[in-house]
Amino acid sequence: MRKMKGISVAGLLIMTLSTLAVCSNVNRTDNDEELIFKEEQTPLKITHNNEVPQHLVLIYDGGSHRSIQWDSEHFVPYVSTEVNGEANWLFDGFLFLEIKDGQGRGFASGYEKQAARKVEWENLLHNYFRDDNAIHALNKQIGNIRKKNSNKEFTKRKIVLSLPEPIPGQVDWGIIDGRPLRFSNKKDRLDACKWYINYAEELFRNANLENVELVGFYWLAEEATNSRDLALDVATYIYSKKYDFYWIPYFNSDGYSEWKNLGFNVVYYQPNYFFNENTPYERLQEACNRAQKFQMNLEVEFDDRALKDSKDWGYRLRDYLDVFERNGAFDSLKVAYYQGGDAFYKLSLSKEPADVELHQRLIRLITKNKERKISTP
């Protein structure tokens, strides 16, 4: 789910005028067009404990409202593809996340009237580590491809797990070490996060997965409003365990430009263009400009509506790819992929020419720089 906040009329006018100014040449295609993301630009002095994936796909799973079964078969088109008769690895990063449990409890502010408790946090992790589902299923499918291509170079796929937001004011979250936690207390909120991180680490370690590695945690709250005084403490704990701290703020999100001060070290920016046909094309260039200014990565966004037999909004996905390519984003940044439920899977199965073209273009972008090391904002 993409969350976008409203802005004032005056603010909208200012933003629109500035966007038009920076995007006056957005449709240029001549060879001398300036790339705003240059490989030789000085990288931000941010350290990472692990290699950051070049292409991170979002996998929503865990709520009872989900109908997708993330078994090994479902991961087939995400793990590898054939290019010129040869197997090629695709996504090297997988972010497992969920926004609500499907029973009226939300894992971050704004999704449900009631906040998820310790039992829902625990069930979410159990779901991710259930046999033949999610992480185990992904590990299995990667193993299947490795057996068939034993001579092909391989590095473990990167796993990032979402970290629920301890919602301020919650009093029914649960007990740790015999003590009920109350989220009006910052220490209790931090203790809940530490418990979750420790439990996730334990489950991953006990799973003995040979094809994937846990590299970080993702802060589920897409704005800093309720976590401005907490995120840095969570980051300190995550870094002490040699993981990285991921964040994907929405367009105009509270705090998106403050991400360094908030403690994150891997950040992607949401353009939020795909979801509304009234959102102008220029939004994509504005997102690129902000990503360059604040040294963030970018997110490609689409869902089932991109398919020909749905809304036929494939043109909006193509717009992302056009603008990101024109600005050099795929060559110089890391890229996250929001796909709704499993739109990439559906594109891979579709026989519609427009869908096939979109899927093949995504494959080309994901596989073209596999052997290159890309500096990470």
**Does residue 272 lie in a domain region?**
yes
Give me the CATH number covering residue 188: 3.20.20
> Can you give the pLDDT at residue 25?
39
> Can you give the pLDDT at residue 20?
35
| C-alpha–C-alpha distance, residues 33 and 199, integer Å | 49
> Can you give the pLDDT at residue 235?
98
Q: Can you spell out the DSSP letters for 79-100?
A: HEEEETTEEEE---EEEEE-SB
Q: Can you spell out the DSSP letters for 211-276?
A: SEEEEEEEE--SSSTTTTTTHHHHHHHHHHTT-EEEE-PPTT-TTGGGHHHHT-SEEEE----TT-
**Does residue 37 lie in a domain region?**
no
| C-alpha–C-alpha distance, residues 166 and 190, integer Å | 8
Closest to 37 (Cα-Cα) out of 292, 224, 272: 292
Range of the domain at 240: 54-367
> Can you give the pLDDT at residue 28?
38
Cα 201 to Cα 60, 133, 135, 291: the distances in Å are 20, 18, 13, 31
**Does residue 3 lie in a domain region?**
no
Three-class secondary structure of residue 338 per DSSP: strand
**Does residue 82 lie in a domain region?**
yes
**Does residue 46 lie in a domain region?**
no
123 touches 103 (CB < 8 A): no
Cα 220 to Cα 17, 84, 231, 245, 260: the distances in Å are 32, 39, 11, 11, 17
| C-alpha–C-alpha distance, residues 160 and 34, integer Å | 34
Placement of tokens 């449990």 in the chain: 101
Residues of the chain with pLDDT under 70: 1-45, 369-377
Number of domains in the chain: 1
Strands (E), 31-73: 55-60
Q: What is the CA radius of gyration of the chain?
A: 20
> Can you give the pLDDT at residue 371?
44
**Does residue 35 lie in a domain region?**
no
**Does residue 79 lie in a domain region?**
yes
**Does residue 19 lie in a domain region?**
no
Closest to 266 (Cα-Cα) out of 333, 330, 324: 333
